[in-house]
């Protein structure tokens, strides 16, 4: 089985009494990407250990050959924060992985993650990356851009830009900000490429979609021709983000700026064994 090969020689090191099937822990299992990852793992002979808030992460990770770390948030609510959701969860993963026989860590981050970033979300993602890389366990980090799903399940990013009736779609800023919308199926394929391929590289990789377009073009691609677009000036958009319970200043900053990957998507696809999908092909059934 390919995933067993990706785990290296570990299966040969176990005694007969210790042998068991491959187990993969998935944090953030109920999230947009987590659901698809767990569904795909369930189609194999791999034991899936889905983890969400309130589950015993240490116990599950202790039984795992690899951890796909998807837990985190861009929109913390209540007592939650970027530190608790993105950094502390990662510290929990690292601590449990070091105490077990985990051989591979896979993490979804965001393009532009930097400990010196003025954006609180990007700072927290960079801190999480550091914890994983410094763990000494082979780690693959994918820094993603805006993720979208298919028409039947567009996800929160695409869903926010789909017209409701005759009302215009609201776009923060000028609408000219450059983005490379990333298909969720490609994210899952990249994760599995890092998990399954014996030659899968470790390190940090930008993961974007093959289409570079403006935010306005993204909105037009998701809707029928003639969709009306209403722009909110950046200053007003940032003020609304501070007042709205469904937004954060960090999220609004990401919506207002360019979101593009440093590496060509096709090159990342070759490294991890998948072909990136174009937005027009995924949303062809919408037409």
d(CA 245, CA 243): 7
Residue range 92-113, pLDDT digits in tens: 999 999 999 899 999 999 999 9
Residue 199 pLDDT: 82
> Quick one: average pLDDT of 132-149?
97
- Among residues 119, 145, 147, 273, the alpha carbon closest in space to that of 208 is found at 145
Residue 286 pLDDT: 61
Residue range 49-91, pLDDT digits in tens: 999 999 999 999 999 999 999 999 999 988 889 999 999 999 9
Residue range 209-245, pLDDT digits in tens: 999 999 999 999 999 888 999 999 999 999 999 998 8
Please state, in angstroms and as integers, the Cα–Cα distance from residue 26 to each residue in 34, 147, 223, following that order.
Answer: 7, 19, 33
When pLDDT is cut at 50, 70 and 90, the band that residue 21 belongs to is low
Which residue segments constitute the domains of the chain, with CATH numbers given? 2-282 (3.40.50.720)
When pLDDT is cut at 50, 70 and 90, the band that residue 197 belongs to is confident
d(CA 104, CA 68): 8
> DSSP readout, 75-143?
S--TT--HIIIIIIHHHHHHHHHHTTT--EEEEEEETT--TT-SSHHHHHHHHHHHHHHTTSS-EEEEE
List of residues 6+ apart from 39 with CB closer than 8 A: none
Residue 281 pLDDT: 96
> Quick one: average pLDDT of 150-159?
94
pTM of the model: 0.90
């Amino acid at each position: 089985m390919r995933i067993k090969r990706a785990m290296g020689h570990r299966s040969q090191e176990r005694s007969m009494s210790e042998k068991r099937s491959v187990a993969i822990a998935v944090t953030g299992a109920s999230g947009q990407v987590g659901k698809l990852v767990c569904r795909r793992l369930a189609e194999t002979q791999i034991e899936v250990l889905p983890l969400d808030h309130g589950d015993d992460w240490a116990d599950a990770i202790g039984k795992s050959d690899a951890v796909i770390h998807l837990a985190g948030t861009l929109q913390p609510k209540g007592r939650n924060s970027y530190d608790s959701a993105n950094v502390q969860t990662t510290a929990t993963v690292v601590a449990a992985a070091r105490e077990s026989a985990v051989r591979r860590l896979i993490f979804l981050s965001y393009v532009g993650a930097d400990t010196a970033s003025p954006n609180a979300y990007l700072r927290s993602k960079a801190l999480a990356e550091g914890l994983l890389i410094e763990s000494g366990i082979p780690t693959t980090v994918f820094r993603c851009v805006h993720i979208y799903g298919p028409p039947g399940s567009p996800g929160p990013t695409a869903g926010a830009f789909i017209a409701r009736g005759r009302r215009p779609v609201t776009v923060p800023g000028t609408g000219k900000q450059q983005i490379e919308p990333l298909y969720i199926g490609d994210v899952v394929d990249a994760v599995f490429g890092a998990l399954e391929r014996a030659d899968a590289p470790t390190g940090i990789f930008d993961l974007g979609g093959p289409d570079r377009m403006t935010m306005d073009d993204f909105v037009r691609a998701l809707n029928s021709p003639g969709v009306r677009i209403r722009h909110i000036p950046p200053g007003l958009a940032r003020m609304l983000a501070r007042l709205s319970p469904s937004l954060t200043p960090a999220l609004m900053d990401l919506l207002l700026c360019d979101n593009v990957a440093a590496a060509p998507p096709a090159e990342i696809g070759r490294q991890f064994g998948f072909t990136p999908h174009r937005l027009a092909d995924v949303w062809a059934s919408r037409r």
